[in-house]
Each structure stands twice: as C-alpha cells, then as structure tokens.
Amino acid sequence: MANCPKCNATILITQIMIHSKWAPIVCKKCNSKLHFNKKAWRVMIFPSVVLMVLNLLVLNFQRSNFSMQIAILVLFFVFFVKFIMDLNSIKLEIKNN
C-alpha cells in the first residue's frame, strides 16, 4: 500500500485509482495533498499501454496465429498484474501549491 510521506498513513488503493488533476489524493490523517511522481508513473504505465495496443492489433488481424494471440494475452495479463502490484507500492509526493 502507498503511504503518506508526511505522516506515514496508509493511502487506500481506491484513492489512488480515482486520482486526477481535479481529484487529488488527500491524506485523511494530515490533510496533505499528494500526487504521483510523473516519471515513475510513466515507467509503470508504459508496458501496459504497449501491450494493449499490441493486443488490439493482433486480435484485429484475421490471419494471425492463435498461438500468437494467446502469447500476447498472457503477456498482457502478466503486465496487468505487475501494474496492480506497482500501483500498491507507488511512491507519492506532497503537492506544492
């Protein structure tokens, strides 16, 4: 689970999943506004985006091998699990206003 860098309180995954520019993550204990480190977020999300695009490309071609489709789907599942695990351990930073 992610923790607040100021007070070390646990941040729920549901708060992390709905985080956006307009809905920041707010620590319930110390009320500090938190955000993702942009570089860490890009590194975490990039493999999932690439595999989703590959999956769409392979599944749209009628002539592709079934084994290739299965391999891409397995890789997609592995990277999706890695994404969820990384989401739980992401480092948050205090937002300066």
Amino acid (1-letter code) at residue 44? M
- How many other C-beta atoms lie within 10 A of the C-beta of residue 12? 11
Dihedral angle over CA of 33, 39, 45, 50, nearest 10: 160
* Predicted TM-score (pTM) above 0.75: no
pLDDT single digits (tens) 3-31 = 888 888 888 877 877 777 777 888 888 88
pLDDT single digits (tens) 32-91 = 888 877 777 777 777 778 777 777 776 666 566 777 777 777 877 887 787 777 777 777
- CA-CA distances (angstroms) from residue 32 to 40, 68, 81? 20, 47, 29
Dihedral angle over CA of 77, 78, 82, 84, nearest 10: 20
Show me where the domains of the chain are located.
Answer: 2-94
Residue 26: name the closest of 15, 14, 17, 18 by CA.
15
